[in-house]
Structure 1
Amino acid sequence: MEVIPVTCALILLNERVLCAQRSDAMPLPGLWEFPGGKVEVGENPEACLKREIFEELSISIRIIFPLKPNDHSYSNRKVINLMPFICKWESGEINLLEHQKVKWLSKEELRSLKWAPADIPIVEDLLANWNNIQKLLVE
């Protein structure tokens, strides 16, 4: 079974997190996710995430720390190893180059979206650790 390493950014700003809706041109169209992408050969996850966020949203981020990765099987031949990172927005204006929409949501609003299956455990982990994460971002 092929395991594909994928990163995602939980970009936090003013106690809200950036959520992105997949476009009709992407697999799982219309579902929501934390933006990111596949790690290329020879690339480390942090470099991948910064590259992907710039390619998808035209913004620069600062990676603060990783959260627990999640393995998700979309088929019996392919598993993604989704590696989430808590991030801060560094610079740039959001320009949607792949997604159809983005929203900044509070923790109370996160469960209102229809998430891509691999992102659901990441949402739950974020919610379970929300207060501790917010404290670490202030320090």
Structure 2
Amino acid sequence: MTTIPVTCAIIYFENKILAVQRSKTMKLPLKWEFPGGKIEFGESEEDCVKREILEELNIHIEIKERLTPVTHTYPDFKIKLIPYTADYLSGELKLKEHADYVFLEKDELHTLDWAEADIPIVKEILTL
């Protein structure tokens, strides 16, 4: 099974963190995740996460720190999820693929039904 490299962003809006809910038609329907997407050929991780956030959410971010990547095997695919912390810079948040979004305090992150690959990232954020 090929591993798909995917970036995601833990985006801070002041002291709150953005989480997005996958739509009913996406793989892992209605699970919560940190937004991001697949790295395109020749694209850097940082460029990928900025592009994906702009495409999916209509906002600009400033990359801060790379966290620990997570490799997770789902029943029909395997991903290497590469997380970056980021600060919101500009733009009006508009969901283009996802069903919903929330802004949470760090200690509220555990209340969501996360996609399995995102769970180790949530745990790492709690230690920051």
Per the shorter chain, which TM-score range? over 0.9
Q: What displacement does 1:39 show? A: 0.3
Q: Counterpart of 1:137?
A: none
5+ residue gaps, structure 2, are: none
Q: What displacement does 1:47 show? A: 0.6
Q: Counterpart of 2:14?
A: 14
**Inter-partner Cα distance in structure 2 for 1:107 and 1:50:** 22
Count of residue pairs the alignment pairs up: 128
Q: Counterpart of 2:59?
A: 59
Counterpart residue type for residue 123 of structure 1: V
Q: Counterpart of 1:134?
A: none
More helix by share: 1
**Inter-partner Cα distance in structure 1 for 2:65 and 2:110:** 23
The alignment partner of 1:23 has SS state of: coil
Q: Counterpart of 2:96?
A: 97
Q: Counterpart of 1:50?
A: 50
Q: Counterpart of 2:120?
A: 121
Q: What displacement does 1:78 show? A: 3.1
Instruction: Show CA shifts across 1:35-58 (max 9, x none).
Output: 000001111111110110011000
Instruction: Show CA shifts across 1:19-77 (max 9, x none).
Output: 000011211111100000000111111111011001100001110110010100013x6
Instruction: Show CA shifts across 1:89-108 (max 9, x none).
Output: 11100011011111000012
**Inter-partner Cα distance in structure 1 for 2:66 and 2:33:** 17
Identity value in percent: 50
Q: What displacement does 1:3 show? A: 1.1
**Inter-partner Cα distance in structure 2 for 1:78 and 1:25:** 16
Q: Counterpart of 1:82?
A: 81
Runs of 4+ in 1 over 2 A off after TM superposition: none
